[in-house]
């Protein structure tokens, strides 16, 4: 049996593969809008394991594999034996003997790695405490659709140096763009990852400096899943990093802005920007569907 191809971080793709995936996602989107049949994954079964909540990830994976002719199984951590302590490795051997592909959303990134190490089929990271690579497929697709290749552009991340920020850092080095992370002290992304990203990623404490000439501003919630108890103490330090019209006015004249959603309106992003008629945030959310269809095709073609 050949070793399965996993997608645990963006670095599991080469730059060429990531660009090809984005272009395939754009083509799949056009096909779907035209009403063409898509059956490239006919008969394939995707198991989706969730120990954290989700709207976009669940709906996009389930709709995506169904549109491609396959089926999805939703497995909530609490309702499987995983939730009662069956070892991850044992669960991986059993589940992967019955399905063609597994998507996992959970807390510890190491848990997804442990599952993948014993899995006979490709494993996709649907978000861990450390990374959210599927989100970046959609975000990059959106930038490519609206502005073309992101190489050489400047992106500014505003707020918490969290899992989505980490995946932006990987995207910066893969797709060769500049990423400035604007965050307060104590909210920095991983120092080891920062070092690995070399001169593609820098940290800037002053948000007004960070967004200057940026072509894309990005933010995310100030308390991620699992950090709910810290919500109120995080507001003070992170408030100056709110994505709002004032910061957008300092960025490049045609700057886009994104948010992975769900958003806390008027916390990390203003309701005004969420509801702006020209925002690409809803396009970004829809692109989860198309980008992950391209991802599942890639992993199952290996
Ligand atoms: N952006 C994202 O992953 O959304 P969900 O938590 O709704 O899946
Ligand atoms: N950083 C957020 C992203 C949600 C899609 C979280 O982990 O909760």
- Write out the DSSP string of the chain: -PPP--BSSGGGS-HHHHHHHHHHHHHHHHHHHHT----TTTT-EEEEEESS--SHHHHHHHHHHHHTT-EEEEEEGGGSGGGGT--HHHHHHHHHTT-SEEEEE-S-HHHHHHHHHH-SS-EEE---SS--HHHHHHHHHHHHHHHS--TT-EEEEES---HHHHHHHHHHHHHT-EEEEE--TT----HHHHHHTGGGEEEES-HHHHTTT-SEEEE--SS-TT-GGGHHHHHHHHGGG-B-HHHHHHS-TT-EEEE-S---BTTTB-HHHHT-TT--HHHHHHHHHHHHHHHHHHHHH-
Q: What residues line ligand 2, using a CB cutoff of 6 Å?
A: 127, 162-164, 220-221, 224-225, 260
Is 173 a known active-site residue?
Answer: no
For the CA of 134, the closest atom of ligand 1 is 3
Per-residue pLDDT tens digits for 60-105:
999 999 999 999 999 998 899 999 999 999 999 999 999 999 999 9
Per-residue pLDDT tens digits for 242-263:
999 999 999 999 999 999 999 9
pLDDT on residue 181: 99
The domains located in the chain, with CATH, are: 10-132+287-301 (3.40.50.1370), 135-284 (3.40.50.1370)
pTM beyond 0.85: the answer is yes
pLDDT on residue 186: 98
pLDDT on residue 1: 58
> Given ligand 2 and candidates 104, 107, 132, which is best to mutate, with the most ligand atoms within 8 Å of its CB?
132
For the CA of 57, the closest atom of ligand 2 is 5
Query: Which residue ranges in the chain fall short of pLDDT 50?
Result: none
């Amino acid at each position: 049996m050949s070793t399965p191809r996993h997608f645990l971080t963006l670095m599991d793709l080469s730059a060429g593969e990531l660009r090809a995936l984005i272009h395939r996602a754009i083509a799949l989107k056009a096909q779907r809008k035209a009403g063409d049949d898509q059956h490239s994954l006919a008969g394939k079964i995707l198991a989706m394991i969730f120990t954290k909540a989700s709207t976009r990830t669940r709906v996009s994976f389930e709709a995506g594999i169904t549109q491609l002719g396959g089926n999805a199984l939703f497995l909530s951590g609490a309702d499987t034996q995983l939730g009662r302590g069956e070892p991850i490795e044992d669960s991986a051997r059993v589940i992967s003997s019955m399905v063609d592909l597994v998507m996992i959303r959970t807390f510890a990134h190491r848990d997804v790695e442990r599952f993948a190490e014993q899995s006979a089929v490709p494993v996709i990271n649907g978000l861990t405490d450390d990374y959210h690579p599927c989100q970046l497929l959609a975000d990059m697709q959106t930038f490519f659709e609206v502005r073309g290749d992101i190489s050489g552009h400047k992106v500014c991340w505003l707020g918490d140096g969290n899992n989505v920020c980490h995946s932006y850092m990987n995207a910066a080095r893969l797709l060769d763009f500049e990423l400035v992370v604007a965050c307060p002290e104590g909210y920095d992304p991983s120092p080891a990852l920062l070092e690995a990203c070399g001169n593609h990623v820098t940290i800037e404490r002053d948000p007004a400096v960070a967004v200057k000439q940026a072509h894309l501003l990005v933010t995310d919630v100030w308390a991620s899943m699992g950090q709910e108890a810290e919500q109120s103490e995080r507001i003070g330090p992170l408030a100056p990093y709110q994505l709002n019209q004032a910061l957008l006015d300092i960025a490049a004249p045609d700057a886009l802005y994104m948010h992975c959603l769900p958003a806390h309106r008027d916390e990390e992003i203003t309701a005004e920007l969420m509801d702006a008629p020209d925002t690409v945030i809803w396009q970004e959310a829809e692109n989860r569907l198309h980008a992950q269809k391209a991802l599942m095709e890639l992993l199952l073609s290996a």
